[in-house]
């Protein structure tokens, strides 16, 4: 049963990618959306009452499981309730009712102990409501200084507060990510001027956090999205000066990764090439967004470097990186040159996904199938996504218990699966009863089997919340126009001329 109309059109690579809007291209990959909460609600579709009920039932079960003590769950549930009231046909709300709802959402956000998560919740709310034609900066102008609230909260974020396998390697990574989310929020509301307020240049402050991120992997990956956000604000001039070139310096730092030696730790063993290619590909997308295509041949041919690293990855690692590679190539205007390679890559990724068991572990194998489903979908090869692959991904969670880490972090791959299966019209696979889950739905089973549900110790449960918000927000339909900032933005290398000229210069 397919519950959604296809949001992606086109039956070949170029036509399929041409249907993507600017937000789809700037914030394409699930990492930014599910892990960071940026760009939720992409690929809008018609409202569906059944899906809406499933989402709200999931939140009811989450609140019951957490005894209503998990602040992120409470916030996400209330935000989804409000989104539903806005998008459900034939619903009428007074201005005062809407304002009270929003103030209640803010009340829950202000109860969030972790300042980074607080910024993430503010930014998600601002972006989601902007997509519903509600500009919170203007709506709350007389009661809340929203920009001051956002930046003051960022200043509360301390270094190295992430407690995971990479503790001590992050530095100001969370602060940088918070700035990025806020800059996207300012941009979608047409408030780029608030990045410079009361004599404070918040863009300069954000760029300074790069120096405090010791790991090249995190500096490159986080910095690239910051550069994209600054480009969307319309201030790429901040990235280059006589004294400092942030893009070239970040590439230099990535090149010194072996010497620096602060490599990330992953839940499963990853090759050195994976550690290098991930931040490089995100930087290539940032280069496309900022129009700084001369960086493509800075010290070496960066496209050739990316291609060599892709070839050196294991097949499963390529399932993670394929979409990053394809979007960087497309946004740089180099698709015609790389079209044959990319088409073959997508075929290979689907073949790999059909051979692996996503329940083997929550990260390397656990999100591979979801990545491949989205990659094939966006590149016009949805016909390659078989019913068997869909079922394999949907049924994998009951046996994702090989290690305690897999059980604790199960919401992570579940959020990916929910998002990608939703995009291809098969979200029912996770919401309808299944023999694989004792005749419960996969969602209900997953919630019932959560092992860490306390506030601020929730085993990445917040990602599942993001996936539910994303699904509800998508159902706003096409009645809400594309936000002006995305309509006006251009990838300046995408006409193919600048990218090709700079690549010829490399040679």
113-163 confidence digits (pLDDT tens): 999 999 999 999 999 999 999 999 999 998 999 999 999 999 999 998 877
The residues with which 240 forms a beta bridge, in sequence order, are: 245
pLDDT at 503 over 90: no
pLDDT: is 481 or 53 the higher one? Answer: 53
Indicate if the pLDDT at residue 271 is higher than 70.
yes
pLDDT given at position 198: 82
**Residue-level pLDDT at 95:** 86
Q: Cα–Cα distance between 440 and 444 in angstroms, integer?
A: 6
Query: What is the arithmetic mean of pLDDT over 40-46?
Result: 96
Cβ atoms of 432 and 421 within 8 Å: the answer is: no
In this structure, what DSSP letter does residue 32 have? I
Residue 5: pLDDT above 50? no
Q: How confident is the model at residue 2 (pLDDT cuts 50, 70, 90)?
A: low
Read off φ and ψ for residue 81, nearest 5 degrees: -60, -45
| Mean pLDDT along residues 27-53 | 95
On average, the pLDDT of the chain sits at 93
Confidence label for 496 from pLDDT (cuts 50, 70 and 90) = very low
Contacts of 382 (CB under 8 A, 6+ apart): 6, 8, 376, 424
Give percent of the chain with pLDDT exceeding 70: 94
Backbone φ and ψ for 6, nearest 5 degrees, come out as -55, 120
Task: Please state the pTM of the whole predicted model.
Answer: 0.95
Higher pLDDT, 456 or 169: 169
Give the pLDDT of residue 3.
58
**For residue range 434-475, what is the model confidence (pLDDT) as tens digits?**
999 999 999 999 999 998 777 666 779 999 999 999 999 999
Euclidean distance between CA atoms 180 and 171, whole angstroms: 16
pLDDT band for position 93 (cuts 50, 70, 90): confident
pLDDT of residue 9: 47
**Backbone torsion region of residue 40, taken as left when φ is above 0, otherwise alpha when ψ lies between -120 and 50, otherwise beta:** beta
Asked whether the predicted pLDDT for residue 502 surpasses 90, the reply is no
Average pLDDT over residues 324-329: 98
Phi, psi of 2 (to 5 degrees): -110, 115
The model's pLDDT over 69-90, given as tens digits with 9 standing for 90+, comes to: 999 999 999 999 999 999 999 8
Instruction: State yes or no: pLDDT of 295 exceeds 70.
Output: yes
Residues whose CB is less than 8 angstroms from the CB of residue 255 and which lie 6 or more positions away in sequence, other chains included: 299
Residue 408 pLDDT greater than 70, yes or no: yes
pLDDT of residue 12: 85
Q: Which among 419, 402, 414 has a CA at the least distance from the CA of 450?
A: 414
Pairing status of strand 433-434 against strand 440-441: antiparallel
Structure-block tokens of residue 147: 């920009």
Question: Is the per-residue pLDDT at 179 higher than 80?
Answer: yes
pLDDT higher than threshold 60 for residue 357: yes
Whole-angstrom distance, CA of residue 381 vs CA of residue 345: 11
């Amino acid at each position: 049963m397919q519950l959604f109309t296809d949001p992606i059109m086109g039956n070949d690579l170029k036509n399929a990618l041409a249907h993507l809007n600017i937000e789809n291209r700037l914030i394409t990959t699930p990492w930014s959306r599910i892990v960071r909460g940026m760009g939720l609600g992409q690929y809008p579709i018609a409202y569906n009452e059944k899906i809406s009920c499933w989402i709200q039932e999931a939140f009811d079960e989450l609140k019951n499981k957490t005894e209503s003590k998990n602040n992120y769950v409470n916030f996400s549930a209330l935000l989804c309730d409000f989104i539903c009231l806005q998008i459900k046909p034939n619903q009428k709300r007074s201005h005062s009712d809407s304002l009270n709802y929003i103030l209640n959402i803010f009340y829950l956000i202000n109860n969030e102990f972790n300042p980074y998560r607080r910024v993430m919740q503010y930014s998600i709310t601002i972006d989601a409501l902007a997509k519903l034609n509600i500009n919170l900066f203007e709506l709350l102008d007389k009661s809340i200084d929203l920009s001051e609230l956002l930046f003051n909260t960022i200043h509360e974020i301390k270094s190295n507060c992430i407690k995971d396998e990479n503790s001590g390697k992050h530095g100001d990574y969370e602060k940088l990510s918070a700035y990025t989310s806020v800059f996207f929020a300012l941009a979608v509301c047409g408030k780029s001027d608030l990045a410079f307020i009361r004599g404070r240049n918040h863009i300069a402050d954000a760029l300074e956090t790069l120096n405090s991120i010791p790991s090249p992997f995190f500096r490159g990956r986080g910095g690239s999205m910051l550069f994209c956000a600054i480009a969307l604000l319309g201030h790429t001039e901040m990235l280059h000066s006589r004294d400092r070139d942030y893009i070239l310096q970040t590439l230099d730092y990535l090149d010194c990764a072996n010497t620096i030696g602060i490599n990330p730790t992953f839940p499963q063993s990853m090759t050195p090439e994976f550690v290098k290619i991930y931040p490089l590909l995100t930087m290539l997308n940032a280069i496309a967004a900022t129009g700084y295509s001369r960086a493509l041949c800075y010290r070496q041919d960066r496209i050739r470097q990316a291609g060599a690293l892709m070839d050196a990855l294991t097949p499963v690692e390529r399932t993670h990186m394929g979409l990053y590679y394809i979007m960087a190539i497309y946004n740089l205007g180099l698709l015609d040159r790389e079209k044959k390679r990319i088409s073959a890559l997508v075929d290979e990724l689907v073949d790999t996904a059909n051979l692996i068991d996503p329940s083997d572990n929550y990260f390397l194998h656990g999100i591979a199938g979801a990545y491949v489903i989205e990659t094939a979908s966006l590149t016009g090869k949805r016909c390659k996504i078989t019913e068997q692959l869909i079922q394999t991904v949907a049924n994998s969670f009951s046996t994702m218990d090989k290690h305690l880490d897999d059980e604790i972090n199960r919401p992570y791959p579940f959020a990916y699966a929910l998002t990608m299966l939703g995009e291809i019209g098969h979200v029912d696979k996770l919401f309808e009863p299944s023999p694989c889950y004792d005749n419960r739905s996969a969602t209900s089973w997953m919630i019932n089997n959560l092992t860490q549900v306390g506030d601020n110790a929730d085993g990445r449960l917040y990602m599942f919340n993001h996936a539910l918000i994303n699904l509800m927000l998508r159902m706003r339909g096409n009645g809400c126009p594309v936000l002006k900032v995305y309509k006006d933005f251009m990838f300046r290398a995408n006409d193919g001329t600048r990218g090709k000229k700079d690549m010829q210069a490399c040679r």
